[in-house]
């Protein structure tokens, strides 16, 4: 299976800290790749470098087989790549529907739309449908996000990304603030998105969740990919061993 999105030899230094050290990464359409590693392994830095949030010092990025450089997150989004960061990047004073369509607002038909009036009814209906599909805890699309619980905010961010991604979806700790039911819904959503043909990249510290939804697991340690493991048949102990260096796994090992 050829890679849809690939990084080769990415390096990035912050002062004396080598955050990425010739890191490699790849994900194909229609698969879930889990990206795991201890704190400081370089996971978030790698995602930012891949999606236009951070320049790299060296290395190459390929998208659909062609070398590419996303100068901004907007460019990555325009290519069909969406990210749910740990900080969620929501506007607290806007409601759930407005956050979902932030920068992609639906304008009212006719002259009112040309004058800048938004079709709030249409946006709220589509947002409500997205939350229902996700099985989220969001009960109202008109409540300001700042007044919502952590789990509800997480649901808004995930629903927004799932709605707009058409190539690659990055999820950075998507279940961290969720309860049992909402976590199950998110994991099922990840499977649905994968089955629709998108590439999904899951960054998570929950090894059971990783093994439940991932097709492959790529392990970062000290800014470098140190193992790629087929999730089928893998164990939590294997993953933790690769993360910590307890297992001397070679790149590409099953």
Please report, for the chain, the start and end positions of each structural domain, with discontinuous segments joined by +.
1-80+165-254, 91-164
Whether pTM > 0.95 for this model: the answer is no
Q: What is the pLDDT of residues 203-242, one digit of tens each?
A: 999 999 999 999 999 999 999 999 999 999 899 999 999 9
So what's the pLDDT on residue 133?
78
Find the angle CA(146)-CA(121)-CA(156) to the nearest 5 degrees. 35
Q: What is the pLDDT of residues 42-69, one digit of tens each?
A: 999 999 999 999 999 999 999 999 999 9
So what's the pLDDT on residue 130?
86
Element (H, E) at 96: helix 96-100
Backbone angles phi, psi at 201, to 5 degrees: -115, 120
| Pair 200, 190: CB distance under 8 Å | yes
The superfamily (CATH) of domain 1-80+165-254 is P-loop containing nucleotide triphosphate hydrolases (3.40.50.300)
| Pair 144, 94: CB distance under 8 Å | yes
- Residue bearing the bigger pLDDT, 136 or 82: 82
Secondary structure class of 48 (helix, strand, coil) = helix
């Amino acid at each position: 299976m050829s890679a849809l999105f690939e990084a080769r030899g990415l390096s990035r230094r912050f002062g004396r800290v080598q955050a990425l050290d010739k890191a490699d990464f790849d994900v194909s359409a229609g698969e879930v790749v889990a990206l795991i590693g201890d704190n400081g392994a370089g996971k978030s830095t790698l995602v930012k470098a891949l999606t236009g949030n951070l320049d790299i010092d060296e290395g190459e990025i390929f998208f659909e087989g062609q070398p590419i450089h996303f100068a901004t997150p907007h460019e990555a989004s325009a290519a069909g790549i969406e990210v749910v960061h740990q900080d969620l990047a929501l506007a607290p004073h806007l409601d759930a529907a407005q956050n979902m369509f932030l920068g992609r607002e639906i304008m009212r038909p006719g002259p009112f739309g040309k004058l800048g009036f938004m079709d709030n009814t249409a946006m709220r209906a589509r947002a409500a449908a997205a939350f229902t599909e996700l099985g989220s805890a969001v009960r109202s699309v008109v409540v300001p996000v700042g007044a919502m619980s952590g789990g509800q905010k997480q649901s808004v961010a995930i629903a927004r990304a799932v709605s707009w991604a058409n190539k690659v979806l990055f999820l950075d700790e998507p279940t961290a603030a969720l309860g049992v039911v909402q976590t199950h819904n998110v994991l099922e959503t990840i499977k649905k998105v994968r089955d629709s043909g998108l590439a999904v990249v899951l960054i998570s510290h929950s090894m059971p969740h990783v093994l439940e939804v991932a097709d492959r697991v790529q392990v970062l340690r000290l800014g470098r990919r140190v193992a790629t493991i087929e999730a089928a048949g893998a164990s939590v102990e294997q993953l933790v061993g690769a993360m910590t260096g307890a297992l001397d796994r070679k790149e590409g090992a099953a």
